[in-house]
Chain A
Amino acid sequence: MSKTERAAKNKSMWQSFKVFLKSIKGYRIPITIAVILTIGSAILGLFIPKILGDMTTIAVNSYPELDWPALGSKAILAIALFCGSAALNYAQAFILAVVSAKYTKEMRERILDKIFRLPISYFDKHQYGDTLSRMSNDVDVLTTSMSQEIADVSLSLTTLIGVMIIMLTISVPLSLIVFLVVPISVVVVARIMHYAQKFFREQQSTLGVLNSEIEEDYAGSIVIKSNSYEDDALVEFDKINEKLTNVARKAQVFSSLSFPVTHIFTNLGYVGVCALGGIFVVQGQISIGDIQAFIQYVSRFNRPITEIASTTSTLQSLLAASERIFEFLNEPEEEPDAEPAKTIDKVKGEVEFHHVNFGYLPDTPIIRDFSVKIKPGMKVAIVGPTGAGKTTIINLLMRFYEPDSGYITVDGIPTREMKRADVRKMFGMVLQDTWLFSGTVEENLRYGSLSASLDDIKKAAKASNVNHIIEALPKGYRSMISEDSDNISAGEKQLITIARAMVANPPMMILDEATSNVDTRTEQLIQESFEKLTAGRTSFVIAHRLSTIRNSDLILVMRDGAVVEQGNHDELLKLGGFYAELYNSQFAEG
């Protein structure tokens, strides 16, 4: 990594840290209280070894007539201290638990709101899994490392400073031994961890390589089998697997080295304190109780240092998570609706494209100067080979995307001057890619019109030929379904979405004909309900069947993302262009 790159990275990390700090601003009071409680709890805990040591000293000095009242009061003080410390500790943990739970909840809601406000284009470019993992994994990492960090840093710092002060008051030379040994161990461990980190990163990237290798082999298993490639695939796999194992081993060895290394230094310090302290006691420089206490402090000195050293990695994952979350939250949103927005009282269904230009990428326009007038009640078929961009028209009609220039009107009113929600409600949409949410059939059907009665719903289901299918389910309209439920077939799912559109009863329709994943009988049922659905309504159909296309009033022919021809069947055939070619090649003689 070059210097400038590193600087840029640091800057962006610092930036995301600032954004993160801003987001927890609302919780600053409880967080401050938690920090104070932590410090209090640490301070109370600090005195316990000292008191225990004092007890020994009292016992030794008053031996053989033990001074029970003095010992008793010390013991009671010790109990009071560690109970108090534990109580403060719990209070702190309690506050942080509530804070982090509330913060998690808030972040999740913000992300969901953001999902609703982002333009569709964002999700066409990004994978769902990515957004989902920002909401679950990243939020989890952020909140757990946040509360951990707050508690750890304040506890470690207090303990560290407190232990140092107490050690120095007991014995300066003994303290020096500890101050010399422990930091060396921390530096050595930090060095080792640095190497381990390097190997861990390498392990991660090798794992990535292995992952894509396996994914490819599993996805293409039919090709591997039909070419007897299994043995070669295994040899290739072995190579990467061996490499991964080597790197993983190094990462593991290095990271587990930190434990014995810390240990040897701690033990050396311990031995030094025991031996030298013993001599000091013999010489009468310090009391025997103090030496006991000191040994306990040595073991407490170690932990806060390693803890503080480990905060960098926690902090890094915190920053990485917050960067991913706030990057998502800062994505540009859909432009706000026009204000005041125009409305149409009674939609007649006259749709017109006025010189529309559009492209998904700025430098590759795919719809150029497209104009067409669609009279109320017309059936419009959109045809073209797969991948020709037939859904682009739908995206523009529904305002999932906005034209780069030009505009679309409904009954003479530009849709861009209306509210998006109002535009979308004018159209019923039945896509090949059916979408049902998990819930009952009834709830799914009511999705388009929340006030619909059960009778309305049943009427629509009957009209869409799906009533008998629903009634045949174990719980009828109360049956649970979802996108991946297998109690109903893909074709039946599409019938349900047709019924859903019928319940909503919109003035215009957008339909997507199923291509192949439906059996012949269901396809007939769908065809019938499509006809009912489009009767008397302006409708746009992404058509695959020649019968549908021929019965349309207007055909839009798409090729490579652009509308290349428009007209009805006979006109287009006469034109002798792409449509004619497409049509004739279907049944070209010879």
Chain B
Amino acid sequence: MLKLFRFLRPYWWQVVILVLATALQVYTVLRLPALMADIINNGIVPGDNNFIWMAGFKMIGLAIISAIGSLISSYFAARIGTSYARDIRRAVFEKVINLNLLDLKEFSTASLLTRTTNDVTQVQMVTIMLLSIMLRAPLFLVISVIMAIQTAPDMSWIIIVGAVAIIGSAIMIMALVMPKFKIFQELIDKVTLVTRENLTGLRVVRAFDNEKVEKKKFVKNNDALTKLLIYIDKVLELQNPMVNIIFNGTTLLCFWVGITLLSKDFAYLGNMTAFAQYVTHVMMSFLMMSLIFVTLPRANVSAHRINNVLATKEKINWRDKTNGVPDKTPSVEFKNVDFYYPEASEKVLNDISFKAEAGQTTAFIGSTGSGKSTLINLVPRFYEATSGEILVNGLSVKEYDKKDLIKRIGFVPQRGMLFAGSVKSNIKFGAPNASDEQMHKAARIAQAENFIERLPQKYNSHIAQGGSNVSGGQKQRLSIARAICKNPEIFIFDDAFSALDMKTDARLREALKDVTESAVVLIVAQRVSTIKDADQIVVLNNGHVVGKGKHLELLNDCSIYQEIVKSQLSDKEYSAELKLAAKTVKRRANE
């Protein structure tokens, strides 16, 4: 929480106004009991009506000043608190949106979302509370003590009695309850866990007819939770009656002591009333301040989660200007590239080398975990290679300005992802200046034209948040169109064709040839049929390149590739393919 207070810096003068206004308000409010004592001592006792009226008007004036102070401080507390929250929210969003994928891996999307919204709201709430109530309490405390001592110095020991009683009771209750809170949270988590499991595993629970077993588990935890809850409540509910006894007791004490002092000085008649009110204020302030211990830990959790994001160091440093001149002809080359995740012992990619030329398609295949997705994520520098070099158009990716590199690449991720807006805004997402013709062409190649034309408003049709109003296949085709519309030098398809049926897949790849004549195409695929015609197939296994070549060549000499093909073909077809491969390779060797 304290770390986040740096966001208050721009508002320091508002904080100063706030403190001054609050002090003014507290001071004027606390002057009232003293004036009241004056009325009793100098007005009522001598029977001076004029004095009473004068003091009355003074009090009205003070009440109005106090109200103005209070208005000003409330306004500034709200103003500072919300501006502060806005700045934090923006800082978190900016950080997240600019972090690279590797750093983002540490957080789930849902947790980042909570951090940007709910956690900030929580911090805002507590900050406003600190700025209003918590600021007021210590001021009340100090000014009340001073004024109490001024009014009736002989009675000041009562303040200590009251304060000790209040603090003592609060500490006692905390000591009884605090240790239980941890267990309480654990039990709540358990009850939630059992419920969540029953929801996610509903089919399994019912398939095994185990509702009774699950209920028993739930009841056990629920009972324990209820018992603990009753205990905690029993203790917590002590607070109210105890505070009441202390307040009433102290007031009685003030009156009693005041009356005994009457024989010394009749002015104690008014003073003891004022004094009793000051003591009440002192004790109230302590109660208010004890609220900090309840609210601060909760806000601290949120603040900590926000700080976690803000403190994430960006591991990739971009150049401000591309350093060097990239080739005119596009190409992608890997030179002995290794990659492993920080703190991981095993390499995800091990000594990868290949070159992808313009006008050629390079495909990557391998089982899950073979590293093919990681590999292509290195090209737009979403991840950073641990060692080795990656060249785009002959220039290391480390020498590029971020935008300069990204504009060369058309990247289609595994899952088709769209943004709220229109079909048009989605296709032109990466190339806002593209012409409509370019957009139509991109849609046509991506096999998206047919369904777009059938939409009620064609290219202006609304796309809902996350593209939830179009099907998975349509989403994928639109996201392919988005990449084509950018007219990039390098196309990267990260398993982008799997969501399409095989016919569309084939048609799309055929149409793509139009725009990829002078571009580099990198494809990650699962289906052999998708990559069969590639100019170069790189077979990956456990992060190693185990084969590189064309389909028939690999069938002939790469056992991992054979395994993959075999799993997707019938035995008869497989042996036919093998024969064909052997024949072709032999023929080529003869030539």
Residues of A within 8 A of B (CB): 45, 48, 52, 55-56, 59-60, 63-64, 66, 71, 75, 78-79, 82-83, 85-87, 89-90, 93-94, 97-98, 100-102, 104-105, 108-109, 112-113, 115-116, 120, 123, 128, 131-132, 135-136, 207, 210-230, 233-234, 237-238, 241-242, 244-245, 248-249, 252-253, 256-257, 259-261, 263-264, 267-268, 270-272, 274-275, 278-279, 281-282, 288, 291-292, 295, 385-387, 398, 400, 420-421, 424-425, 427, 429, 431, 435, 437-438, 447-448, 450, 483, 504, 516-520, 523, 545-547, 550, 581-582, 585-588
Contact = CB atoms under 8 A, between A and B. Distances in A.
B244 A97 contact: no
A295 B81 CA distance: 36
A474 B326 CA distance: 53
A216 B409 contact: no
Given A79-B249, A223-B479, A447 B208 contact: yes
Interface string B64-89: 10110011001101110111011001
Contacts of A253: 74-75, 78-79
Contacts of B527: 586
B403 interface: yes
Contacts of A234: 90, 93-94, 97
A94 B116 contact: no
Nearest to B263: A64
A236 to B, nearest CB: 10
A461 B77 CA distance: 64
A71 B93 CA distance: 68
Given A82-B248, A256-B132, 20 more contacts: A48-B248, A66-B262, A89-B244, A101-B229, A109-B219, A116-B205, A123-B199, A216-B465, A245-B86, A248-B124, A249-B79, A252-B81, A253-B78, A263-B70, A275-B55, A288-B269, A429-B207, A431-B203, A504-B208, A588-B506
B211 interface: yes
A60 B62 CA distance: 30
Contacts of B192: 132, 135-136
Interface in B139-157: none
Nearest to A225: B382
B183 interface: no
B96 A218 contact: yes
B245 interface: yes
Contacts of A437: 197, 201
B497 interface: no
Contacts of A115: 195, 198-199, 202
Interface in B34-72: 35-36, 39-40, 43-44, 47-49, 52-53, 55-56, 59-60, 62-64, 66-67, 70-71
Given A215-B113, A219-B109, A582-B502, A93 B52 contact: no
A270 B29 CA distance: 11
B406 interface: yes
Given A102-B226, A249-B79, A427-B207, A112 B502 contact: no
Contacts of B203: 120, 398, 400, 429, 431, 435
Contacts of A228: 402-403, 406-407, 430
Given A89-B241, A112-B215, A279-B49, A245 B97 contact: no
Contact of A59 (B109, B208, B259): B259
Contact of A52 (B117, B251, B406, B499): B251
Nearest to A450: B213
Nearest to A123: B202
Contacts, number: 388
A207 B242 CA distance: 41
B429 interface: yes
Contacts of B191: 108
A249 B82 contact: yes
B341 interface: no
Q: A-side binding surface: helix, strand, loop or mixed? A: helix
B403 A222 contact: no
B575 interface: no
A222 B96 CA distance: 12
Contact of B368 (A102, A245, A424, A518): A518
A180 to B, nearest CB: 16
Interface stretch (B330-338, B356-364, B564-572): B564-572
A550 B569 CA distance: 10
A169 B139 CA distance: 37
B411 interface: yes
B44 A278 contact: yes
A108 B218 CA distance: 9
Interface string B338-363: 00000000000000000000000000
Q: Which 10 A-B pairs have the closest CB atoms?
A: A275-B56, A227-B430, A97-B233, A252-B78, A260-B70, A86-B241, A226-B411, A93-B237, A267-B63, A585-B502
A523 B229 CA distance: 48
Contacts of B204: 429, 431, 435, 447
A249 to B, nearest CB: 4
Interface stretch (B291-299, B412-420, B440-448, B454-462): B412-420
Nearest to B63: A267
Interface of B: 25, 29, 32, 35-36, 39-40, 43-44, 47-49, 52-53, 55-56, 59-60, 62-64, 66-67, 70-71, 74-75, 77-79, 81-83, 85-86, 89-90, 93-94, 96-98, 100-101, 104, 109, 112-113, 116-117, 121, 124, 128, 132, 188, 191-193, 195-211, 213-215, 218-219, 222-223, 225-226, 229-230, 233-234, 237-238, 240-242, 244-245, 248-249, 251-252, 255-256, 259-260, 262-263, 266, 269, 273, 367-369, 380, 382, 402-403, 406-407, 409-411, 413, 417-420, 429-430, 465-466, 471-472, 479, 482, 486, 499, 501-503, 506, 526-529, 563, 567-570, 573
Contacts of A100: 233
A588 B529 contact: yes
Contacts of A517: 368
Contacts of A585: 501-503, 506, 529
B472 A56 contact: no
A288 B90 contact: no
Contact of B90 (A94, A241, A546): A241
A398 B29 CA distance: 73
B113 A424 contact: no
Given A93-B237, A102-B226, A82 B249 contact: yes
Given A56-B269, A253-B75, A520-B367, A425 B209 contact: yes
A224 B419 CA distance: 10
A75 B256 contact: yes
Nearest to A438: B193
A274 B53 CA distance: 10
A274 B36 contact: yes
A580 to B, nearest CB: 13
Nearest to B573: A587
A63 B226 contact: no
Contacts of A211: 113, 117
